Chain A
Amino acid sequence: MIKEFRFNFANINPLKNKAPACKIELNGTQIFAGNVESTIVLQAESKQSNTLRIHFENKTGADTIVDEENNIIQDLSFELKNLVIDNVDVKHLIWRSKYIADRSVIDSCLFFGPRGFWEFSFDLPILKWFLKTNNTINKNDPDWEKDYNYYKEAWDKLSKIQTR
């Protein structure tokens, strides 16, 4: 099934002659490669269980510029601000991700500083996964499945009706 992915990035920090670039993969298949922009929207074939990766590939040691006291004064970097899958903002669950750099794995990291990749796993339907996962973590929404089913049934039925 084809789903839409909307990535919103912030604090995109280029150097004088170099912009941060990324490669995005879904389940090991490349779906984007290019410079990081504030919004990137993609359509991609998805499965029931999925792994999304954003690789920060063009970062080198020379892209972090420090002063005499070793303070960073310029750095090729960017941040993932939010992620919308199939029109559902995954909101706080975006933090259930990790950043894998050359020598470390950083949990809940949306900052693309070191060379490496960000990884996020989710299931479809995304809304159902979101509600279930949220309740598993926070235990604050016991009615999620019942209400999800009401919403889905209403949505499915109305999808056959024309807008007035």
Chain B
Amino acid sequence: MGQIKQDTDKITKIAWTLMLASAQNKLDVPGEYLWNIPTSADFDEIRGKSWGVYSSGNCIKDKQMIDYTNTVNLNKYLRDPWIVKKYEEYFPIWLNECPRFNFSGLDDFKYSCFSQGSQEYFLNFYMQHREKRFRVLKGEYWWHMEVWKNLGLQWAYIEDDDIKPNDVVIISFPFARIGDEHPQQKNVIDQCEKLGVPVMLDFIYLPNTTYDKLQIDLTPTCIESLSFSMSKTFPVANARVAIRMTRKKMHDPMQISNDENVSNRLASGLGFECMQNFKIDYMVSKYLEEQKHWCALLGLTPTKVVHFAFGDAYTQNGRSYKKRFFSDFNDQQNRYNLGPLFANKNLLHSLGYHDKI
């Protein structure tokens, strides 16, 4: 099979168009839409931010879901003392209902705890293991490294040193940079299992995986905890709806707050509503064909996460002006977020960008 030729010119035109449309309030779904929101339609402003159209991991801003969440009465959850528990109990059921996932060992993760975004759990994980050395593969979610650097915690890329007994490992699955299982994941988990090194699996992109049947082996006991979030799946990221699942009951600040029943009921309520009304693979069912369409049109390679594609770095090819990521640890420039293209289908269609010419 021949290599796909990337249409960088069209990719760039779409980026300029969407960023300018954002400034001019002409996107299909108005509001806070694209990472790197332009403050004006001036050339410099659009130029400096246009590449940001593709650079986030953010969810697809699905209009149907946004319309639904606009109807949710969150106040009733504020007064519902059981909502966090309901959310925690329903999550594994909702997860297991998806025929795309075939978990081995999920039932061993008996303890679910609401988390105010994955980041709350990450911080608790850092505190728990603050005396250890954190390990990630290159291309992992940059937030970890940025925080470790600023807190002065020990860390190293897995590629740069052997895994040692005093380490702890975090792996996103699918992996943040490539939108698929990292080729080293199994090997890393095997090593951790031998050494007794704790592993956290971050499943933030799992709901959007396009596998028909994904085998997920959670039986290695080194895998101590799982992190799930709705932020990259549904347009609720700023509500901070996430959950942690563990083999053993934790006794960290997050769990203490949970036991005290002071966790965020608005977020839990919104998450519960989303689970009640949308399947976990809603975005995959709705946008898989769109992913294929855009990848064929732009010469990108679909990843196993429905809103991502892989291609030449968008920070090259004329995208060098004012190029910057929020963090120096972010090296995801080959991963294209197609969500803004999906969500703006009508606009891009009317401008002649959606169809093959």
Chain A residues with CB under 8 Å of chain B are 88, 127, 131, 141, 143, 146-148, 150-151, 153-155, 157-158, 161-164
Q: Chain B, 13-49, contact with A by CB distance < 8 Å: what is the 0/1 string?
A: 1001100110011111010000000000101001100
CB distance from B239 to the nearest CB of A (A): 24
CB distance from A88 to the nearest CB of B (A): 8
Say yes or no: A150-B21 contact (C-beta < 8 A), given A161-B347, A164-B27. no
Residues of A close to B30: CB separation below 8 A? 164
B26 near A127: Cβ-Cβ < 8 Å: no
Residues of B close to A162: CB separation below 8 A? 26
A153 near B16: Cβ-Cβ < 8 Å: yes
Residues of A close to B351: CB separation below 8 A? 157-158, 161
Q: Chain B, 161-179, contact with A by CB distance < 8 Å: what is the 0/1 string?
A: 0000000000000000000
A163 near B25: Cβ-Cβ < 8 Å: yes
Residues of A close to B321: CB separation below 8 A? 141, 143, 147
Q: 15 new A-B pairs (CB below 8 Å) besides A147-B47, A157-B17, A158-B20? A: A131-B43, A147-B321, A148-B43, A150-B12, A150-B16, A150-B318, A151-B16, A153-B17, A154-B17, A154-B46, A158-B21, A161-B347, A161-B350, A162-B26, A164-B28
A158 near B47: Cβ-Cβ < 8 Å: no
Residues of A close to B128: CB separation below 8 A? none
Residues of B close to A148: CB separation below 8 A? 43
Instruction: State the CA gap A154–B16 with chains docked (Å).
Output: 6
The answer to the question of B320 belonging to the interface, with a C-beta cut-off of 8 Å to chain A, is yes
CB distance from B312 to the nearest CB of A (A): 16
Residues of B close to A158: CB separation below 8 A? 17, 20-21, 24, 26, 351
A164 near B47: Cβ-Cβ < 8 Å: no
